[in-house]
Amino acid sequence: MRSPIPFTGLRRRLVACAIVVTALWAPVSPSALGQPVFPVPAGGDLDGFVEIFDGRTLSGWHADPKYWRVEDGALVGEVTPATLLKANSFAIWRGGAPADFELKVEYRVSAAGNSGINYRSVEVPTPAYALRGYQCDIDGAYKWTGQNYEERGRTFLALRGQVTRLSPGSKPAIVGSVGDKDKLATVLRSGDWNQVHLIIRGNVLTHLINGQVMSCVIDEDPAARTAAGLIGVQVHVGPPMKIEYRNFRLKVLPAVEVVSVRSP
């Protein structure tokens, strides 16, 4: 058997070369090399989300069967000429009352449809199936879609395109913009499926549709805001309409402190 190579200058150089080659092939983060690190698309981004609608039944949901049913994997709300509403009616999820969370859900709405996704809401005693609280508005005419409207409360909190701050005893103050209201409407798909993504953390309430931020509210009114509550979807008073929801996914987030913002 050949004797091992003595640890001479040549062997030391071979070992050093091997270490350098290994280091070159090892993954190195750009930040470690002093290079800028830019955001990248989140992709599917479903880690930590759980489904809250089974696509087959109304199990876990409280809704008036006169207006709500399950069809082709979707939660369907429909108002016909024979069933016109006197008050808005909600399908209410009974699986919890989340505080900080993300919610992803797809919707398809008829041209005359008027609906919305309520969150951090409370059920009122009358009329039946009614909620009070924050709402991501949805409508087939694109007039209101994406705004933050407080059902049975302070009403318009932020129109589409607005970043607003809510203070006690004052009207919502516009402190910024995420885009022109009409241009933002161009990302909405008429007669097709759209995805709502709500990011609700502390007192910052962000509404996205099809990956575009539509509105953001910073609620600094401790007496009026709610920290947790029910999730529900709506059929609205008005002409006959149809709204379909599918793929409800919820991710509960750890609590964060409220933030404060002031105009420049």
pLDDT digits (tens, 9 = 90+) for 51-84: 999 999 999 999 999 999 999 999 999 999 999 9
What's the pLDDT score for residue 40?
Answer: 86
Identify whether the C-beta of residue 225 lies closer than 8 Å to the C-beta of residue 132: no
pLDDT at 25 over 50: no
Closest residue by Cα to residue 226 from 152, 169, 171? 152
What's the pLDDT score for residue 37?
Answer: 87
pLDDT at 262 over 90: no
What mean pLDDT is predicted for residues 15-25? 37
State the chain's mean pLDDT as an integer: 89
φ, ψ dihedrals at 215, nearest 5°: -165, 160
3-class secondary structure, 151: strand
What's the pLDDT score for residue 34?
Answer: 79
pLDDT at 18 over 50: no
Structure tokens at 23: 């280091």
What mean pLDDT is predicted for residues 173-195? 98
pLDDT at 14 over 50: no
What's the pLDDT score for residue 22?
Answer: 37
Closest residue by Cα to residue 103 from 88, 84, 121, 85? 121
3-class secondary structure, 157: strand
CA distances from 146 to 62, 105, 139, 229 (A): 24, 13, 9, 20
Strands (E), 72-178: 74-79, 89-93, 101-109, 114-123, 131-139, 148-151, 155-158, 162-166, 173-177
pLDDT at 29 over 80: no
* Higher-confidence position of 120 and 23: 120
Cβ of 44: how many Cβ atoms within 10 Å?
A: 7
What's the pLDDT score for residue 93?
Answer: 98
What's the pLDDT score for residue 24?
Answer: 34
Closest residue by Cα to residue 104 from 161, 46, 62, 184? 46
Task: Compute the residue count for the chain.
Answer: 264
pLDDT at 172 over 60: yes
Closest residue by Cα to residue 92 from 72, 120, 112, 71? 120
pLDDT at 98 over 80: yes
What's the pLDDT score for residue 261?
Answer: 65
CATH value of 51-252 in 3.30.450.20, 3.50.50.60, 1.10.287.470, 2.60.120.560? 2.60.120.560
